[in-house]
Amino acid sequence: MIAKPDALPYLERGELIRLLPTWWVDAGPISIYFANRTLLPSKTRVFVDFIVEVFQRERFAERFAGGLG
């Protein structure tokens, strides 16, 4: 068993295949935590916005989901 983000490039190139495509372990969501929105430093806001944009653009949520083939 390996985390899908680590195996994803090999899966997408066809170098690895899923032997049990209907079985996976849900490791839970990826979260970003920060103390307070009202006092959030601008560089933290820029980082959060960047991460959200990249995840949406690259469809990481769908690609990293364990249940997807």
Per-run averaged pLDDT (10 residues), the chain, 69 residues: 81 88 74 78 89 88 66
What is the pLDDT at residue 53? Answer: 93
Rounded to an integer, what is the distance from CA 22 to the centroid of its chain? 19
| One-character DSSP codes across 10-45 | HHHHTSS--SSTT------------S-STT--HHHH
CA angle in degrees (0–180, nearest 5) for 18-21-24? 100
Is the pTM higher than 0.85?
A: no
Give, as one character, the DSSP assignment of residue 3: -
